[in-house]
Chains A and B, each alone.
Chain A
């Protein structure tokens, strides 16, 4: 997973995750739920990630763990992109 992907993920987090802290202060492995992301915000995050990366999260991936850190999200995006979806679109979120 490229640095560009993590940059896009952080942008989506900044715009949709309603975090009470600056995303740039969080490490890639920081627990986003512990940092203040609600379950409802994680829905918005999922939808915005789908827009940004032109992917769709299947039901089997609708777990807390898939969205609980930048690293986890990057791994999920990589998996779904490898399934045939285009890589980071970088916009549209």
Chain B
């Protein structure tokens, strides 16, 4: 994973002409381990109820590949928001499908307030997973930050 605030803030996030990009790479095995060790507490503290529903396998068990992609999306969105040392619960950044089934970023609570204060709007997200990794890219417009 690219870390926020060090490599992530400079190399993985770029600003130009009012557009901000954040990217993150996530290990699927890390999510599997967290589910194994911390089970429901991990799931409830990090993911929204909608995300947990969307990432349930046919048998009801959480699909770590899809959850890893969503964690990457949360991290990429926090880079776009330049969260720094602000207190933003993981659940305040959620991924949900729009009416066409495309993933979208939904900000609530502290994340929504941060977006407003930073002039960040119109977030868009793309997710992928392949083998041991999942990744996400978040793009947003920024007002007054050119």
Contact = CB atoms under 8 A, between A and B. Distances in A.
Interface residues of A, number: 22
A40 B110 contact: no
Contacts of A82: none
Interface size on B, as a range, is 20 to 34
A47 B41 contact: yes
A46 B89 CA distance: 12
B45 interface: yes
Contact of B38 (A38, A44, A60): A44
Nearest to A34: B6
A59 B110 contact: yes
Interface in A41-55: 41, 43-44, 46-48, 50
A5 B86 CA distance: 26
Contacts of A65: 85
Interface in B70-116: 71, 75, 78, 84-90, 110
Interface string B21-65: 000001100110110011001100110000000000000000000
A19 B136 CA distance: 23
A33 B31 CA distance: 19
Contacts of B37: 16, 44, 47-48
| 6 tightest Cβ-Cβ pairs between the two chains A and B | A38-B1, A65-B85, A47-B38, A63-B87, A59-B89, A63-B85
Interface of B: 1, 3-6, 26-27, 30-31, 33-34, 37-38, 41-42, 45-46, 71, 75, 78, 84-90, 110
